[in-house]
Structure 1
Amino acid sequence: MIDIQFPDGSARAFEPQATGAEIAASISKSLAKKAVAYALDGDVRDLSDPVGRAGTIEILTREDPRALELIRHDAAHVMAEAVQELWPGTQVTIGPVIENGFYYDFARDTPFTLDDLATIEKKMAEIVRRNAPFTKEIWPREKARQVFADKGEGYKVELVDAIPEGQDLKIYRQGEWFDLCRGPHMASTGQIGEAFKLMKVAGAYWRGDSTKPMLTRIYGTAWATKEQLQSYLTMLEEAEKRDHRRLGREMDLFHFQEEGPGVVFWHPKGWSLFQDLVAYMRRRLADSYDEVNAPQVLDKSLWETSGHWGWYRENMFQVQSAGDEAEDKRVFALKPMNCPGHVMIFKHGLKSYRELPIRYAEFGMVHRYEPSGAMHGLMRVRGFTQDDAHIFCTDEQMEAECLKINDLILSVYRDFGFEEIVVKLSTRPEKRVGSDELWDRAESVMKKVLGTIEAQSGGRIKTGINEGEGAFYGPKFEYTLKDAIGREWQCGTTQVDFNLPERFGAFYIDANSEKTVPVMIHRAICGSMERFLGILIENFAGHFPLWLAPQQVVVATITSEADDYARDVAAALRRQGMRVETDLRNEKINYKIREHSVAKVPVILVCGKREAEERTVNVRRLGQRDQTSASFDEAVAMLTAEAEAPDLKRRREMRGGEAPAVAAE
């Protein structure tokens, strides 16, 4: 007999052969009926699996968040069965669960199209209603090869051959249909439910290799309830409206083109937005960081020393001049990150412990190779700017520095309206550098910091652990923020590094006049400035707060008799540092308003003959039907105050200062 613990702290003895289903039934018939799987010490298993050993058991129902992955996994199998029932001879290859859904790759002479999805969905619903049980079998390797070969499933034969010797070959059946799969699965197809939908089709090379056959990939989504499915579909509709690539065109911010794959062509308004973001970040760093700039192109020997040449070479762009001299034949690389350059700056000149911490910041352009299929507007590019910083400190200063970084990151996110933040600590990966003692020390400090972050926020900031997800050189904090429609974006990072300074021989002179390797903390807040701007565009749906909007105000005339007055209003606003344009075209005012609304201009000031005579303006705000009237001076004062950046307003208020002076003449 073995002791099985339950979540409530109780324990009971069972035979090792007892299955999850039997243990659920021993608790209650209703639980056994609702059970879809079980977890032993956190490891999710089939209900039909025997427990085998002592441990803590949890019975999972469809309402358990962990069951969602099972629902999607099972839905992928049902989709594959549906396809093969509808189109015999189609080969199924790989079908994993992905974020928010699943996909399966199929080999078929005629690729699937969107028109096929409704037919497949209908067949899937039929299979779900059959409620066929999922059953697991273990096959010898040769049997698996032969069965799939006889079925004409060449891709499955290749997958069988790729499974290492000594590993079980698991076959899961659902009725007569079966597939090679690691599992686990729920008890039956009926437990999938009806909340699934096929979303799109795409081409995908077998094994992601462009030299291999092109397959058809069908994507789907599945949820525990129809309400969750509808919520997700609504979010997708809203996300499509907010797509930063479409808004970038409408607002005339940027574009991409084939001659520069993965790099941004910034237009004047977009570059103004980008520079405003950089200026804001510079102001936030001015009191604590020294800004530096490291070279874009460095000899590969530096990257060999740092370890990037071995760990990251396939993502680096190599360059070599066309000259004939030996110097020109050296191999260089465009920097994929700023950290080695900052170590070089730290090393230049002797440093004392009295100078630490030293904080270097750089808005450094970096280049990383991304496959063409992975690039996605501003969100994933090959050339981008990092709001990067590296802190060189003593071991004793590490905790305080991590907390200071945290405070800065959270403050920045609040200024942009992001309040729902999750901070997770990623711990040592399997492949890493550095001694276990150094990792123990770094993780111990960062776990303490993580606890402080949660405590200081009063639970408002959620925290967690990502086991084994740290960088190869050290553990890291990852900051994930939630946008206006509920999507999560991982942006900020704080990474502790004992390795890189030692590789480059960096040191400071400690209190005992000894050479000591500093702790190096890598820090980013926005991460990629381009990506962060893409997130902001979608979060605000282009409706930027006035302080950040690339074009803040348009002064539009109803009649040419108001042209001179409109110019006066625009000039007064420009004197306050605002980004203003006039629209004096001989067009109807409704046409002008509609055009500038599409371009997401936050404020349109309308001036006609009467406004010019009375020195007033009609104020129209983006997204609002009503308009208000204000005097010349009132409008300038109101908009000037509203356009003040939050950090500048905070600094002014801390000093007891007045609102920005207005020089309307």
Structure 2
Amino acid sequence: MPSQIPQTIDVTIDGATRVIGAGTTGTEFFSEEVRRGVVAMRVDGEPWDLGREIPAGAAVEPITLDSEDGLAILRHSATHVMAQAVQEIFPDVNLGIGPFITDGFYYDFGGIDAVTPELLKEIEKRMKRIVKEGQRFVRRDISEDQGRAELADQPYKLELITTKGAGAESASVEVGAGGLTMYDNVRRDGTVAWTDLCRGPHLPTTKLIGNGFALTKSSSAYWKGDQSGDSLQRIYGTAWASKEDLTAYQERIKEAERRDHRKLGAELDLFSFPEEIGPGLVVFHPKGAMLRHEIESHVIERHRQYGFDFVRTPEISKSGLFHTSGHLPYYAGTMFPPMLADEERDEAGTITKAGQEYYLKAMNCPMHNLIFRSRGRSYRELPLRFFEMGHDYRYEKSGVVHGLTRMRGFTQDDSHTYCTAEQAAEEIKAQIAFFISILEDFGLTDFHLELSTRDEDGAKKDKFIGSDEDWATATEALAAACEASGLEVVPDPGGAAFYGPKVSVQVKDAIGRTWQMSTVQYDFNQPERFDLEYTAADGAHQRPIMLHSAKLGSVERFIGVLTEHYAGAFPAWLSPVQARLIPVAEAFDEYVDGVAATLRAAGVRVEVDHSNDRFGKKIRNAAKDKIPFTLIAGGEDAEAGAVSFRFRGGDQVNGVPVDEAVAHIRRVIAERLNDPADERLIVHE
């Protein structure tokens, strides 16, 4: 007898089993919840369209519009609407890829010469019409032959079908894994308005995109990110669950622009990026160099207190060192091309002896290994911790360098700890606490941890070296340290270094952005490559475990983050200029010079404004320069041996005796107070 098609199936939701009719779609299953914001579903952990039928035995969860997955689907759907609008304007446009990204989306187009502000407005206008029309996103499975037939006039889409997205991570939004699917935008009368190759999922209709979207900018891009490939136009947008959320995001963007460290670096005369030197390379001006000195000095002293030994290594090395470490085979694309040295020439200039290849170092660990190996080591020395402010260079593409936060030349507060396998877990735990204490010193207090592990996918596993047992041991040690920290831990599968897993401290700044700061990496590879050994208690020779760590990440990047966190108004202990003296009139120049001398003798970094500017402008300049303490002196102050305090908030306390003023400033600096409220004068009423 023919098999009977089941009339009902079992599914699981919220841990409970429910019986539903076979062929039930997500729309039907979540019919009540759809009216309360459910826009998609998660089936066995994977996001699906509501229009798909739920399979038997599946675990099903709702996805709401304002959830992380919901926002990703909203943005992906907005991408399709944008591409539809663009193709209405340019019917012959070549469609590239259109993924959602953090806070937004983009789509790449070929065949558009330029994207002007006027064009962006026209595209956005057409998007609003499509959204209002309420077109349905309808998914259908296709074969490769069908895809080629439907997309015969779209060369980039054809290439994606042929290569299954190879060469572009974001191309997975188009084809993904498994079979191919198309999404039709269907009007209410059943006609198809637009079609795109996509793996989805999408919202039920364009209407759910609402009015919480906007186009933001455009840029040039290369097909699949390959500079030898076609040049495309990339249009960016952002989309949110509501107009209010969009407005809040736009305000955050404005605040981020106000805090941009590149802008503040120029305004406060901290640093610059001369074109004559090259992209990704910075010069620090006197004030910026002082800020950097204070940061480095504090971090160095904290390392000394913790028990690190200081080392110093050169910035260039023979290529063989990086072959030994494994960096050249795995990291060559990020290292500057080699240079030749030690070659010999005859009088005619002909090379008689080939030169040795040298590389600028991109990391400090290989040289620290040579220091460890320079003599015999005993278990009694372990953990042995080496630390240096190492100057490193990485060949970042010029298009990705960004101020101080993505550079070609930078300084790492880099350390390497050599310990026994038994010591590793406790050492990692202690170092995470050490990292956090340093970040707290600088007024950063909102943290979570990210645990980066090996990608276990067979195709991607090859980029990681080491045995499964080594990776399991290392990952277990890091996971235990994360748990002991008491902080939230976010998994990051595939984010490990090629030689071992890592933990990073993720920090939120004053406006809620997350930055990766401190890292600790477990390395079982380099001790083997460098044949590192220590003598154990029983006289046997053992391999140490190596832990890589950096507390600030890089000094330059940390300065960029700190500049934006404080919007340039650094705490007094870090501020390049801690106090500025302003005489009410020229007659009081000598008096304020004397007060300045007293402050300098007390270790305060002080300036006196003897410019020809009017008094009011001098006050405004001090505020613009974000000086922590502005001290004003006129006739009554000079007679009383006092000054008037003006704080960054604009409030002022008059007639403060000089000795009390000096004592207060010294206390604020010595105690490294980071809260601006603590800079207020509390000694004198």
Q: Output the TM-score relative to the length of structure 2.
A: 0.89
Cα displacement (A) at 1:387? 1.0
For 1:6, which of 5, 13, 19 is the aligned residue? 13
Give, in whole Å, the separation in 1 of the partners of 2:444 and 2:138: 46
| 631-640 or 560-569, larger mean C-alpha shift | 560-569
Contact 2:272 2:283 in 1 (8 A): yes
Instruction: Give unpaired runs (5+ residues) of structure 2.
Output: 1-5, 167-176, 187-191, 345-351, 456-460, 675-685
The residue aligned with 1:169 is 180
Of all paired residues, the percent bearing the same amino acid is 40
**CA gap 1:514/1:51 in 2 versus in 1, 3 angstroms:** farther
| 231-240 or 425-434, larger mean C-alpha shift | 425-434
Contact 1:318 1:331 in 2 (8 A): no
Cα displacement (A) at 1:18? 4.4
Give, in whole Å, the separation in 2 of the partners of 1:595 and 1:601: 9
The residue aligned with 1:155 is 156
Query: Aligned partner of 2:30: which letter?
Result: A
* Matched position secondary structure for 1:545: coil
Give, in whole Å, the separation in 1 of the partners of 2:471 and 2:112: 52
Give, in whole Å, the separation in 2 of the partners of 1:3 and 1:517: 54
Cα displacement (A) at 1:130? 1.7
**CA gap 1:53/1:309 in 2 versus in 1, 3 angstroms:** farther
The residue aligned with 2:480 is 448
The residue aligned with 2:223 is 206
Matched, 1:254 2:241: no
1:209-259 deviation line (CA, Å, top 9, x unaligned): 333332211110011122221111111111111111111111111100222
Contact 2:294 2:574 in 1 (8 A): yes
The residue aligned with 2:290 is 272
Aligned ranges 1:635-650 → 2 under 5 Å: 635-646=661-672
**CA gap 1:352/1:240 in 2 versus in 1, 3 angstroms:** same
Contact 2:112 2:233 in 1 (8 A): no
1:609-634 deviation line (CA, Å, top 9, x unaligned): 33222211111122324343311111
Query: Aligned partner of 1:384: which letter?
Result: F
RMSD over aligned Cα, in angstroms? 2.1
The residue aligned with 1:513 is 539
Aligned ranges 1:317-396 → 2 under 5 Å: 317-321=336-340, 324-325=343-344, 329-396=355-422
The residue aligned with 2:471 is 439
Aligned residues: 636
Give, in whole Å, the separation in 1 of the partners of 2:552 and 2:184: 47
Give, in whole Å, the separation in 1 of the partners of 2:228 and 2:524: 41
**CA gap 1:631/1:174 in 2 versus in 1, 3 angstroms:** same
* Matched position secondary structure for 1:527: coil
**CA gap 1:164/1:537 in 2 versus in 1, 3 angstroms:** closer
The residue aligned with 1:218 is 235
* Matched position secondary structure for 1:286: helix
Aligned ranges 1:45-124 → 2 under 5 Å: 45-52=48-55, 54-124=57-127
1:451-472 deviation line (CA, Å, top 9, x unaligned): 2111xxxxxx322222232222
* Matched position secondary structure for 1:638: helix
Give, in whole Å, the separation in 1 of the partners of 2:318 and 2:600: 47
Query: Aligned partner of 1:449: which letter?
Result: A
The residue aligned with 1:315 is 334
Contact 1:560 1:586 in 2 (8 A): no
* Matched position secondary structure for 1:318: coil
Give, in whole Å, the separation in 2 of the partners of 1:275 and 1:111: 45
Contact 1:21 1:35 in 2 (8 A): no
Contact 1:315 1:370 in 2 (8 A): yes
Contact 2:637 2:655 in 1 (8 A): no
Give, in whole Å, the separation in 2 of the partners of 1:51 and 1:86: 38
Cα displacement (A) at 1:32? 7.1
* Matched position secondary structure for 2:320: helix
Give, in whole Å, the separation in 2 of the partners of 1:629 and 1:202: 57
Give, in whole Å, the separation in 1 of the partners of 2:11 and 2:53: 12
Contact 2:572 2:672 in 1 (8 A): no
The residue aligned with 1:263 is 281
Cα displacement (A) at 1:371? 1.1
Give, in whole Å, the separation in 2 of the partners of 1:577 and 1:164: 61
For 2:246, which of 213, 224, 229 is the aligned residue? 229
Cα displacement (A) at 1:319? 3.6
For 1:142, which of 145, 168, 171 is the aligned residue? 145
The residue aligned with 2:310 is 291
* Matched position secondary structure for 2:40: strand
* Matched position secondary structure for 1:434: coil
The residue aligned with 1:458 is none
Cα displacement (A) at 1:534? 0.5
The residue aligned with 2:586 is 560
Cα displacement (A) at 1:322? 5.8
Cα displacement (A) at 1:409? 1.4
Contact 1:320 1:328 in 2 (8 A): no
1:163-201 deviation line (CA, Å, top 9, x unaligned): 279942221111220111122222222222221111111
Cα displacement (A) at 1:157? 2.2
Contact 2:342 2:356 in 1 (8 A): no
Query: Aligned partner of 2:421: which letter?
Result: D
| 103-112 or 536-545, larger mean C-alpha shift | 103-112
Q: Output the TM-score relative to the length of structure 1.
A: 0.92
Instruction: Give unpaired runs (5+ residues) of structure 1.
Output: 455-460, 649-665
Give, in whole Å, the separation in 2 of the partners of 1:32 and 1:376: 44
The residue aligned with 1:652 is none
Give, in whole Å, the separation in 1 of the partners of 2:25 and 2:322: 53
Contact 1:35 1:62 in 2 (8 A): yes
Cα displacement (A) at 1:517? 0.9
Contact 2:644 2:652 in 1 (8 A): no
Cα displacement (A) at 1:132? 1.5
1:267-326 deviation line (CA, Å, top 9, x unaligned): 011011011100010111112111111221111111111111011101101342465327
Cα displacement (A) at 1:17? 4.9
Give, in whole Å, the separation in 2 of the partners of 1:157 and 1:6: 39
Give, in whole Å, the separation in 2 of the partners of 1:582 and 1:33: 63
| 534-543 or 189-198, larger mean C-alpha shift | 189-198
* Matched position secondary structure for 2:216: strand
Contact 2:340 2:358 in 1 (8 A): no
